[in-house]
Amino acid sequence: MLTESKQQILPEIISRVTALAYSDVPDMESIPKIFELITAIAAGSENYAAAKLKARPVEMLTIKECKELVQGVSEHTIRKLAKQGKIKSVRAGEGKRGKILISKDSYLDYFQK
């Protein structure tokens, strides 16, 4: 990817991540967009539009949604798996009060091993 293209994409990534980190109410649409922009840079493609098409939306679940998806798994266990890095997660919001969001694909893959 051309340096000029990266310079256009990076400020958008930074602004979206900053807004997500400091928001009281997380903008759930920002997470897939951030992923899409990072994928465009990682792809090394000069054609940003082509990289956008390759990006797949990431579905994120709350702890309660994860609990309902796989029967018999407690909320405590899900939090432990996220903290240990065994499933992909992100904390939306500030500090300990921020909501933990779990990648659906990562969560289901963990139980299919």
d(CA 61, CA 100): 8
Provide CB contacts within 8 A for 19, sequence distance 6+: 27, 30
Instruction: Work out the angle at residue 42's Cα, subtended by the Cα atoms of residues 39 and 44, and round it to the nearest 5 degrees.
Output: 115
d(CA 52, CA 23): 26
pLDDT value at residue 113: 75
Q: What is the pLDDT along the chain (113 residues), one digit of tens a residue?
A: 456 666 777 777 777 777 777 777 766 777 777 777 777 776 665 555 555 555 567 889 999 999 999 999 999 999 999 999 999 999 988 877 889 999 999 999 998 87
The residue ranges of every structural domain in the chain are 1-58, 59-113
Nearest Cα to Cα of residue 92 among 19, 4, 10: 19
Per-state percent for the chain, helix, strand, coil, to nearest 5: 60, 10, 30
pLDDT value at residue 23: 72
